Structures are given as C-alpha cells and as structure tokens.
Amino acid sequence: MDPVPASDSLDSDALFELEPAVTHAVGFAELARLPLLELVAADWAEALAPVEGNLRDVLAFLGREAAEGHEVLPSPSNVLRAFRQPLAGVRVLIVGQDPYPTPGHAVGLSFAVDGATRPIPRSLANIYKELEADLGLPPRIHGDLSRWADQGVLLLNRVLSVRAGAAGSHRNKGWEAVTTAAIRAVANRFAADGSRKPLVAILWGKDAEAVRPLLGPTPLITSAHPSPLSASRGFFGSRPFSHANSLLQEQGDGTVDWELPPLP
C-alpha cells in the first residue's frame, strides 16, 4: 500500500503559452475579488461557476495567510494556472496532490517546477526515468512541463496552494471542492453527437486514485506514486505514457508527444 503523501511529489528537497491572466503585482486578496473570467479560461469559468463561492473563500484564506506573514506557494499569478488551459482542449488528466513546498518550485502545474530549478524533484526525476524506459525519450535536467500542457495534458493538483515549508498545510481549506468540480467537468464533456469527448486519466498513488468515482467511464491508468518512497512498488514498469497514447488512439484522438525540449 502506498504511503499517504505530503505533496504531489513527496520530495523534501525538492507553461502553458498563454500570458498569465493576472500579474505578480496582484495579491491573493485581490484575486478573490476579480471576476471569474479574469482568473480562468472562459469555459472553465462556466464549469466552475457552481463552486465560485468556494473558490473566492479559499483565495480570501490565502490573502489572510499572506497578510499574517506566511509565504504562500505558488505565486498569485500561478495559483490558478491549470485552469488557463481551456477545458475543451483537455485530453489527458494527471492528478497530483498539493504543490511543492520549497520556495521557487511550485508553478501551478502538478509535478512541474520552474524551468530554472536545479536539481529537479526526485518524483519528477522518476517520471523521466519511466518516460525513457517506456518511450525511449531522454530525461531532461529541467522540470518545465508546459509542452505537455500545450497538448491538452491537464496537470491538476487536488490542492492548489501550500504554505512554504509545510507540505499539506492547505488541505481541507476549500480547494477540494473546486478541484472536485473541475475533475467532474473534465469527465463529463460531450460532443455534438452525444458521445463523450476523448479523455484518459493518469492516477499515481492512493491520493490520486481517490478521485476515481468522479471520473465515470473515463479510461484510467493507475499505479504507485513516482515518489522514491513508492516508485519501485509499481510505478516503474507501468508504461503510463504509451498506455495513454494507445487509449487516446482508441478514442480517435491521436497521441501526445511526450518528448520535452532539452531546455525550457
């Protein structure tokens, strides 16, 4: 059984081409007062409207955390970054837990870090090892996963913020209601002919597998978490990237090019 992880990476050491909807000059308290359409992509604004109150409450909580002198990660401009990827374009969902608690690492996409971060977190290094074993793609020294996001890979943490140095510190503060609505929205998109839009969900570890009931008939790829604590117990050898491409092809949606550029 996988251990209960403290962050999406379980690393103690420890993108997307659109311009940020908000700037670093805007704080969390200000985010809580902005129109939803200024925070997320238009189709996400519609999907998240039922939980807008929850979202504003948790952003206000982050404002209070910052006002009390706590460093909140990621930055205000990145905290909703996953939702700047249009909902309509999502093809693969990869569920993380909560952001890396090391300052400078979290960028608003699960498992990703800033392209300048060295060394990359160990969970991400293990993901790269499996990517090489699965598809023969070379590991990278950087952790910028925006090329995946550009192709419709939604890198979504269950909890979208954390207090610096305190993994898991923003669990049960309201994010779960928001990301539950987001996952349901991704899984319940229909084409004009009434068929479900293509989607594959990759769930690494017990925390991620807990969202299984939200995904309906979505094809799932599940394994142990890539953390050094559990990667050898089922993550290595699981071949999630080739399996995801096969499942996308079965749904008539081509493949994801999982190769990342040598440098961000």
Instruction: Indicate which residues carry an active-site annotation.
Output: 98
Which 3-state string (H, E, C) describes the chain? CCCCCCCCCCCCCCCCCCCCCCCCCCCHHHHCCCCHHHCCCHHHHHHHHHHHHHHHHHHHHHHHHHHCCCCEECCCCCCCHHHHCCHHHCCEEEEECCCCCCCCCCCCCCCCCCCCCCCCCHHHHHHHHHHHHHHCCCCCCCCCCHHHHHCCEEEEECCCCEECCECCCCCCCCHHHHHHHHHHHHHCCECCCCCECCCEEEEECHHHHCCHHHCCCCCEEEECCCCCCCHHHCCCCCCHHHHHHHHHHHCCCCCCCCCCCCCC
Dig out the tokens for 29 from the structure. Answer: 């308290």
Dig out the tokens for 23 from the structure. Answer: 């700037």
Nearest of 138, 20, 161 to residue 77 by alpha carbon? 20
Dig out the tokens for 99 from the structure. Answer: 């952001």
